[in-house]
Structure 1
Amino acid sequence: MRTAIVLFTRDLRVHDHPALATSCAAFDRVVPTFVLDPALADRSPNRTRFLRQSLADLRENLRGLGGDLVLRQGDPVTETIRLAGEVGAEAIAVSADVSRYARRRERRLRAECERHRLHLRLFPGLTVVDPGALRPGGGEHYKVFSPYFRAWQGAQWRTALARPERIELPTGVPVGRLPALPAGASPDAAAGGETVARRRLRDWLPNLGGYGDQHDDLAADDTSRLSPYLRFGCLSPLEVVERVADRADPFVRQVCWRDFYYQAAAAFPDLDRTAFRAGVTEDWRYDTDALDAWTEGRTGVPIVDAGMRQLHAEGWMHNRARLITAGHLTKQLRLDWRAGLAVFGHWLLDGDVPNNSGNWQWVAGTGHDTRPYRGFNPIRQAHRYDPDGAYVRRWLPELAAIEGGAVHEPWRLPDAVRRTLDYPPPLPPPGPPPPWLR
């Protein structure tokens, strides 16, 4: 009987999983495998917990199809090759990825497969359109989103695949134990897993019609919150956008931004380390106290602090709040975007190299923004996207007694009122104070 291994990485689902579906159709026995890589451990308690929950759900779904999830711990290349020898596999299937680490893993896996005479095949599945499929005339990747979006809309998408009807696992394979849940995770972080993800997608889709008008409303919180499930592959991005009839829909456009940064990271692997914009001058300050205050949500700017408090509580932050908090760190406090990237990378459930790095560079003016000197005045943003202050009061209970939009500028309150607040004044800006502090 012919046997193949399907190595799961960031594709923890059974629906529309090209590597799994193709292997199940072509081989008699399939060994779904996940290797717990110590090199990636302990980077984020939130993502570690989400991963553990997603693996538990994947195991249950695979068992429902007659298979199981084989868990190993160690170097993923070494453990996969070892398992192939144990089960007599002749092929290994894996979803292609774009990060520096993933591509190095794929190169090593290919070399070992050649050495052991195993067939390795890489499959799509992490994006709607493969990262290298769309190229502008004379360039290796799109550097501006709008023309990429037009090309992406007109591209021929692959067809989403059904889950396998049945998976047969070789007998006697030790399946391994799930890792323990970590300590230190956000108390209100979303639960992981394909089952939760598909239910969340089903329940949210009826709200799609109002997404274009409501997705920037901080207090309404009308975004899909699907990003962690896309990051871990609990949902297929193709299957998500196929549920929307119009490729020009504002929600579909947001999914396209994800593909845009994946193709950017594929062409520029140092997106998380090096300024993408050629010739840009990076003149950052390095102030540990200011960075700590920003990280802990005590900058004295309520809309910024509310966003950071949400991040700590939920391991997630509203997209508009991400722009505001990142803009405050880089444009008002003049701190290095890489420091903010690291903080988001620690807490975010959806933190990954392409999107986290690409968005930080966009805000900092070092990345793909066509207006690199764009600024985000936090007070103007607060009054526009949280006009009655409901979002701020939700996350800053010490300011709950302040009515309406006045909560966004507590330093303008009468002295007698301001002295009663357990809330710090704004951090001193480097250089002349911005207009909203004068």
Structure 2
Amino acid sequence: MGKASVHWFRHGLRLHDNPALLESIMACEKFYAIFIVDEDATEPMGYNRMQYLTESLRNLDAQLRALGGQLYVMKGEPTVIFKILHAEAGMARLTLEQDCDATWDKHDKVVRRLCEQLGVEVVEKMSNTLWEPSKIIEANGGEPPHSYEMFMVSASDIPLQVTIRRGRRAVAKPRSGKMSSYGELTDELAAKIGKELGYYPENNELTAFEGGETAALALLQERLKVEEDAFRDGYILPNQVNPDILGPSLSMSAAIRFGCLSVRKFYWEIQEIYFRLHRRL
């Protein structure tokens, strides 16, 4: 059985600017893209948030299928799933986006110990923040900054992380049929994910945002037009200066929170527009 590389999608539900994903598809014979629904670790969320997540997973699966692969959505405890992947699929490498949340760190330590016992290489990359939190803490004398001013002082001498190009290498379809998973993420099945976990609409809610990387990148282009007009007219914070109360929301919060949009891409796109319009700076 050939050695397999598994990428564990969590908060980075995108293909662009995903260094852990690119690391996963390098030098492997088989590639598995997975998302785990772990009820014990998943924080409580309402129906709209679950709907956004479901749309994001569906979009991610569609993009992977366009590259020759697919997304496997699995339900259960991560260590149990990884044992199955190791035994049935020959998992030799596990890649994931490192989460700076202390809650996730506790669960990740358990996964790291298991992988060490199984002889599985673990590759973690930080791509959901502008600065690596560990470097900020180190620059602040080993403690997290307790104010924005302290944070800016600590970050002043640390270079910002740059984005990387979106990988286009084809991914092979997993061939194991014995994994404890939902299998293929069809439209019909994706619609059931929320209900299986006990999420139902309460009052026929209409979601304000469409989930998924494709929608997030399209919304980003609309947001950049507004930011560019503001920079050209000589002001910042356009939502406060000229609020469009009746128009569609251009907030990128949901897309960044779920990792459908890289915060680094958002930052550098804004920077590029600003300095293009103010070359003298």
Alignment of 1:139-150 (within 5 A): 139-149=142-152
Q: 66, 75, 93: which one pairs with 2:68? A: 66
| Corresponding position of 2:218 | 199
Query: Unpaired runs of 5+ in structure 2?
Result: 276-281
| Corresponding position of 1:15 | 16
| Corresponding position of 1:51 | 53
Distance change >3 Å, CA 153–CA 26, structure 1 → 2: farther
- CA RMSD across the alignment: 2.6
Partner-residue secondary structure (3-state), 2:25: helix
Q: What letter matches 2:3 in structure 1?
A: R
Q: What letter matches 1:9 in structure 2?
A: R
How far the C-alpha of 1:89 sits from its partner, in A, is 1.1
Distance change >3 Å, CA 151–CA 129, structure 1 → 2: same
Q: Deviations over 1:325-372 (max 9, x none)?
A: xxxxxxxxxxxxxxxxxxxxxxxxxxxxxxxxxxxxxxxxxxxxxxxx
| Corresponding position of 1:332 | none
Partner-residue secondary structure (3-state), 2:240: coil
How far the C-alpha of 1:88 sits from its partner, in A, is 0.5
| 1:183 has 2:183 as partner | no
Q: Structure 1: how far apart are the matches of 2:220 and 2:44? A: 29
How far the C-alpha of 1:246 sits from its partner, in A, is 6.3
Decide which structure has greater strand share.
2
Q: Structure 2: how far apart are the matches of 1:188 and 1:51? A: 12
| 1:236 has 2:262 as partner | yes
Distance change >3 Å, CA 60–CA 196, structure 1 → 2: same
Q: Deviations over 1:360-406 (max 9, x none)?
A: xxxxxxxxxxxxxxxxxxxxxxxxxxxxxxxxxxxxxxxxxxxxxxx
Alignment of 1:238-277 (within 5 A): 238-245=264-271
How far the C-alpha of 1:79 sits from its partner, in A, is 1.4
How far the C-alpha of 1:137 sits from its partner, in A, is 4.4
Alignment of 1:24-423 (within 5 A): 24-39=25-40, 40=42, 43-135=45-137, 136-149=139-152, 151-152=154-155, 154-165=157-168, 166-173=170-177, 175-177=183-185, 178-179=189-190, 180=192, 181=194, 182-184=199-201, 186-209=205-228, 210=230, 212-216=236-240, 219-221=243-245, 224-245=250-271
Query: Unpaired runs of 5+ in structure 1?
Result: 250-438
Partner-residue secondary structure (3-state), 2:133: coil
Q: Deviations over 1:96-142 (max 9, x none)?
A: 11223311110110111112221112111111211111234434222
Q: Structure 2: how far apart are the matches of 1:213 and 1:13? A: 27
TM-score by length of 1: 0.52
Contact 1:21 1:161 in 2 (8 A): no
TM-score by length of 2: 0.79
Contact 1:7 1:33 in 2 (8 A): yes
Between the two proteins, the alignment pairs up a number of residues equal to 249
